[in-house]
Structure 1
């Protein structure tokens, strides 16, 4: 609709309103007062003037058609698609070749490899970037006539070194009985992930800490050989393993404590005794005898805080005479032959047999 046509419609509408309010069909007093009538006439005059002059330029009677004829604002510039890194950021065990691209055709890409913010003055991307070590890449994409992209960031962590792990709770070849403490320690130059303990391939404990300790009740398993394995893993996936083999040798009998002079060491008999003393780090010794002391049959054992050794002669010393400690002793008799199982202060077990002449480590 043109300006003149619009003015005509407004003028005709105002004249119609004047007729409605001033016409006295019933002889009543006109509804419009003289001031109001002059106001309407002024509006009609304004709409009649060419070029919308006079009152039409005032805020109260502005030309409403200006809104129709005002050109629309120019649309904003499109934004360049943000750069994309390939492969994705993450942890890697070897050098990586990184490609950078933008979905906007013809866009120019600027990349930094030191973690600084990229600008149009930064190095322009011309081809894949090879990273031999950890780095943070940042990139922007720009194109003439478009709004530049935001900054895209990607961090690549490289770690080719595996962790180090060792089992510390039990030694290779140890004989274990009852509750056995298993422990392992690990270290890593990168970001450590987890440490896991296995017994014969079955997971028994796992932790995110580089140190783990757990108790193994060997009475719940059959006597025999077992492999303890500790596996350390870092965040990238590098692993390290340590293993030890141990022998479980729990008593197959009823475990009745052995009394001094207790007879009954017939073929197949099994007896256990444990000695625990605590000397507050003062050297101590304990003795135990299996068999009938008056007949000279059996075995006499001397067990000290410094380790273990056989003893020829001496008297039986009742458990506890010199206190308690972490050391212990188990004595077994099978098929008429004594088997003595020692545990020293480090928790290491040894088995010895008596052949009538000397002690033999088994």
Structure 2
């Protein structure tokens, strides 16, 4: 007795009508964005209400004079108000997908809806990556595109806010690459001591780096660290002891279990896995990563147009497109400390702290 079997060509292929997108991590910078001067990533939307392609961020330095006392005459002894500015240029950013009626007929999933989701994730990734690129940048030039001369000049002007490894003595004056070569995988991993040193540099830099304020009177800095550096800090004995003895013992609150943000000496350390390493630039050819200790107004984001989606129907309604568009500029805020407004630019709100970033064995 023979069983009747269905032929392959007569067997319908069933597809789940749901779709899964490739995982995209939500930006960990999002919580630090705001429109006031206490924000680490300062957003300005001036151009949403008027034409233009640049938004100016202003900086007014503190008064340094001694003033007058007693019967001394103040007239003629006034102090000049030292103000600086930086223009952030905006540009249009767009992307789109196109779906035909025939594609939709053949597909079990809603391709138009999938396209909208993919575009929103694309925009989110771009803003995150632009923020990292701005943190790494050398006076507005992408780190990978900056020449050795540009890196050396940047180091000279920012000497009090750049740290190579665990000691200020690792810095070779005016030589960025030679300074990186002093970072090794024994003494120069990211540790609690290095976090504290970077914080002291932020507080004593001239001009000083302003911490952010929480609950009116608490002053904090935030450090953005790559995964390898964050791993080393998590394994530092002082950090582990602090997490055991001073942090909540609840499994969901203690970073020993959750892998969440670390806290040390008034600094919140956040892991940003997308921060890239600099391959082979350290001692013995080890990999190095920058960690960014930031205060208020480290990054400027200028929005002339917030992200918006648009649709396009053509070819007698057969082709359906969906697009996302925004007009934006993202830059590290830099203000001159020389005689001119843009002379001897220094990064306004951050200390760049390079550490070893050797991959897992």
User: TM-score over 0.5 for the alignment?
Assistant: no
Greater share of strand: 1
TM range (shorter): under 0.3
Which structure would you say has the larger RCO, counting Cα contacts within 8 Å and 6 or more residues apart? 2
TM-score w.r.t. length of structure 1 = 0.17
Query: TM-score normalised to the size of structure 2?
Result: 0.17
